[in-house]
Amino acid sequence: MGWRPVIDLIFLQRLTTNLSLPNLLNLRTKDESERTSTKESSSTFVSSSIFVQQGHKQHIQRGRAGNPGSYIFFLIDLMSTFRAIIKTMRPKQWTKNIIVYAALIFDGKFLEPDLFLKTTALFILFCLVSSSVYLLNDLVDIEKDRAHPLKRNRPLASGALKPVYAVVAMVILLGVSLPIAYLLDSTAALILAGYFLMNVAYSFWLKNMVILDVLTIAAGFVLRVAAGAAVVQVERFSPWLYVCITLIALLIALGKRRAELVSLEDGAGEHRAILDEYNVNFLDHLISLTTGATIVTYSLYTFSAQNLPENHLMMLTIPIVIYFLFRYLYLIHVKHLGGAPDELIFKDKPLFFSAAFWGLAAMVILYFSNYHLL
C-alpha cells in the first residue's frame, strides 16, 4: 500500500511529459507524414493502374523528366499492345494459306528450289495480307463481337487493343507486303491486292448478302491458288483442282455458318446479321449438295488430269477424300463443331491424319511415277 502513491506520481509525471506541447507537435507531424506517405503510395498505385489500362502518355512525360520507372511501364504497355496485335492477326489461321503450294505440288515442280522459295515467300505475304484483313474485320465487327460469347474476348472487343493501333498495324502490313509481292511477281501482286479488296467488300457489304457471303469466302481460297500458279508459271495444273478447291472451301464456309447458328441459337442474328437469312435445314441441304459435288469433281480429276500417271494410281486416293469429307460431316452434325475449321483439323486426330495421309499418298504417286518407281 505504501508504494501505490509513488507509482501513481511517476505515471502522472510521464503522462504530463508525453502530453507536452513539443511532443504533441512531433506526434502531429509524424501522423501527417504517415498520411502523406500513404496518399503518395495510393496515388502511385492508382497512377500505375491508369497507365496500364488507359495509356502511357503521362508516363512518357515523366520519363523525359528523368523518371526511370516510367520507361518500365512504357515497355510493359508496348509489349502488351504488341501481343494484342499478334493475337488479332490470328496466326493460327495462317494454315489456310498453305493452299498456295497447290500449284507448285500438282504442277510437278515441288523439287525445284527456286520455285519453292518463291512460293514460300508468297505464303508469307498472304499471311501478312490476311492478317490485315482480320484486323479490318475486328474493327468493323467490334460491337457485334462484344455480344458474342467467345469473340468478346478478342483484343479489340475486350478493350485490350486500341482501334488506332489496329489501323496502324493494318497499314504497315499492307505497305510492306504489296510492294514485295510486286517484286516477286506482278501478276501475283495484282491477285494479292484483289484478295484484299475483295475482303474489304466482304467486311462492309458482301457478308450481309445471302449465299454471296460463303461464295466470297470460297473465292479467297481460289485466289490463293491462282497467285501460287502465277508465281510457279504452271504448265500442267488441272482446272479440275480449281473446282475441287472451290467446293471444299464452300463446304467449310457452310459448316461454319451452321456451327454459328447452332451455338448462338436465338441470338445468332444479333452477332451476324446474315445468319437471319439461313436456317439449319437449308444449310444441311447445301452441305450435302457440296459434299457430293466435291467427291464427283475430285474423282474426275484423278483419271482425267494430264500430269497424272497413266495407270490411274491417283484414283486410290478417292477413298481417303471420302473419309475426310464424311468425318467432317460427322463433326459438324453430331459433335456440333465447325465454328473454327482452321483449329478443327488439328484438334480432331482422324481428320488430321486423313488429310496428312492423302497429302503423302498424292506426293508419292505424283513424283515417284515420274521417275518410274511406281
Number of neighbouring beta carbons within 10 Å of residue 366: 20
Residue numbers in the chain where pLDDT is lower than 70: 1-69, 265-271, 339, 370-374
Which stretches of the chain are assigned E, i.e. beta strand? none
First to last CA, the chain: 119
Query: What span, in angstroms and rounded, lies between the C-alpha atoms of 145 and 127?
Result: 23
What domains can be seen in the chain, in order of their start residue? 93-237 (1.10.357.140), 244-374 (no CATH)
Burial code of 23-47, b = ≥16 C-beta within 10 A, e = fewer? eeeeeeeeeeeeeeeeeeeeeeeee
Q: What is the pLDDT of residue 270?
A: 65
Cα distance between residue 331 and residue 329, in whole Å:
5
Quote the pTM value.
Answer: 0.76
Contact 327, 351 (CB under 8 A): yes
Output the CA–CA distances (angstroms, integers) from residue 280 to 110, 207, 268, 285, in the order listed. Answer: 41, 18, 12, 9
Q: Give per-residue pLDDT as tens, 111-122.
A: 899 999 999 999
The Cα angle at residue 139 between residues 136 and 145, in degrees rounded to 5: 120
Q: What is the pLDDT of residue 300?
A: 94
Q: Under DSSP, is residue 56 helix (H, G, I), strand (E, B) or coil? A: coil
